[in-house]
Amino acid sequence: MITDYSPMLNPRIKLRHLQAFLEVAKRRSFARAAEALAITQPGISKAIRELEDVLGTDLFERTSQGVALTQAGLTLLRHAGPAMRALGEGVMAVGDRHKGARWIRVGALSTVESRLLPLAIQRWHAQPGMAQGEVGISVVTGSSAFLLSRLRMGELDLVVGRMTEAREIRDLAFEHLYYEPLSLVVRAGHPLAGIDPLPPARLNAFPWVLPPPQTTLRQQVDSFCVRHSLTLPDRLLETLSLPVSLGYVQASDAVWIAPHEAVAGALAQGELAELALSLEARGGSVGMCSNATLNSSLTLEAFCEALREVAAARLDQGRTSHNP
């Protein structure tokens, strides 16, 4: 006889309750959640109300930006997200949709899109034994708040980039790899290129390209402005897209505040020039963030090791270039 000591799920809690809860938590809106699930807004409100009645507590509270999770809601999200994902993977395995496959889902911030992540994927795929069976990686880009929320819900296995300043990191596990500064760059031949020292006030005569509000990188830009008594210019391009930023800067006199890794190649080729003005002393901590409630796989561990190796090689290269 097998004795099961695992906690029993209340039979009144149905799959539709958890689906509704996760969708509202993700979208922070009953209306958008209802649209995503193709049901009416009263229907999703009823599902959440029934779940709250069973649990005996409120899961959401209304704010000026929509709805936010209560402490009880955060606790449920921490467990329900990974559980629903595990259930989905189990159904897929039974259906033989990914037989023998080793798939991982990675969230990437703009700080690692250009070099760290592509090199790590290349190294991971080149490892012995990876040629047998399916090996796949899905990369999602976006802001730290968006990616970390998906990691917490179990929709991502890992988030890579500069994110230690993000409030959403909370109880997630972060492993530091290296420090990455933000740089002020312009097109070759820009009026500010070559001026050393560069007075910060000169920047306001030109358009700026910078990260959007509510991002960790933008927090550093705001701090820079406060330190130098600067106000943002009227002409702004706010984006996390590296191709859009690069194309705009090369065709204009805009000043781009960018992760150094994202512009290192263009700087080396002379397509961009770095201004003689430091935005931060050391830079932010770039690393990888994981959710301890998710079961790690050998495939994910192998990819994390590839990230560590590429980061270590980057640090060694930096030391060599500074000590010929």
Say how far apart CA 157 and CA 300 lie, in whole Å.
8
Per-residue pLDDT reduced to its tens digit, 137-185: 999 998 888 898 888 888 899 999 988 776 778 778 999 999 988 999 9
The answer to whether the predicted template modeling score (pTM) of the entire model surpasses 0.75 is: no
Q: 191-205, pLDDT tens digit by residue? A: 999 999 999 999 999
Q: What pLDDT, on a 0 to 100 scale, did the predictor assign at position 224?
A: 92
Query: Side by side, which strands form the sheet with 208-210?
Result: 236-238, 208-210, 255-259, 182-187, 272-274
Q: Tokens at residue 247, please?
A: 């194309």
pLDDT tens column, 248-292: 999 999 999 998 988 988 999 999 999 999 888 778 899 999 988
pLDDT of residue 80: 84
Chain centroid, CA 183 distance in Å: 20
Measure the CA–CA gap between 48 and 54, rounded to whole angstroms.
10
Is pLDDT of 100 > 70?
no
User: pLDDT per residue over 9-21, tens digit each?
Assistant: 778 888 889 889 9
How large is the average pLDDT for residues 74-98? Answer: 69
| Rounded (10°) CA dihedral 295, 299, 305, 307 | -100
How far, CA to CA in Å, does 244 sit from each of 73, 232, 261?
38, 20, 16
Cβ-based neighbours of 70, under 8 Å, separated by 6 or more: 57, 58, 59, 60, 61
What is the model's pLDDT at position 88?
66
164-167 contact pairs (CB < 8 A, 24+): 164/216, 164/284, 164/285, 164/287, 165/216, 165/219, 165/220, 165/284, 166/216
CA distance 217 to 259: 9
Structure tokens given for 279: 């935005």
Residues 290 and 186 sit within 8 Å (Cβ to Cβ): no
Place of tokens 């640090």: 315
